[in-house]
């Protein structure tokens, strides 16, 4: 399977643009680049039934976030507070940064 080329990172604010949680906004908790999926805080919640591990612990139903495909999320720019596409640009010092395609603001600096 081809590796994903996503510009999303942990702690980015994203909006869901497709699926049952469409329109909701959350923070990225985990990025799985090999499967092109992200886990977003309190989005795409599933219930997992867990058997008891031993006699002292009862069985339980755990609610947790399931991964969602990166094509179903869009970054929310902290400057213009709208969902935007992400561009990349090199600064004068040689650092590569992500930029907002809407307002042109720098999202954050990355390492070389």
CATH assignment at residue 37: 2.30.30.30
Q: In this structure, are residues 112 and 96 in contact, taking their beta carbons and an 8 Å threshold?
A: yes
Closest CA to 27 of 84, 80, 65, 1: 65
Tens-place pLDDT, residues 62-94: 999 999 999 999 999 999 999 999 999 999 999
Tell me the HSE value of 82 on the side-chain side, using a 13 A CA sphere.
Answer: 9
Closest CA to 62 of 50, 54, 71: 50
Same structural domain for residues 66 and 91? no
CA distance 101 to 9: 17
Domain with 26, as residue range(s), is 1-76
Same structural domain for residues 72 and 82? no
Number of domains in the chain: 2
Tens-place pLDDT, residues 19-64: 999 999 999 999 999 999 999 999 999 999 999 999 899 999 999 9
Residue whose token pair is 């640009």? 89
């Amino acid at each position: 399977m081809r590796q994903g080329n996503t510009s999303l990172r942990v702690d980015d604010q994203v909006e869901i643009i497709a699926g049952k949680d469409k329109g909701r906004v959350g923070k990225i908790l985990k990025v799985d680049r090999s499967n092109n999926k992200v886990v977003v805080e309190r989005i795409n919640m599933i219930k997992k039934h867990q058997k008891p591990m031993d006699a002292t612990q009862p069985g339980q139903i755990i609610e947790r976030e399931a991964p969602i495909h990166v094509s179903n999320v869009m970054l929310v720019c902290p400057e213009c507070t709208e969902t935007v596409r992400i561009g990349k640009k090199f600064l004068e010092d040689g650092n590569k940064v992500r930029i907002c395609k809407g307002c042109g603001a720098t999202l954050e600096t990355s390492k070389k």
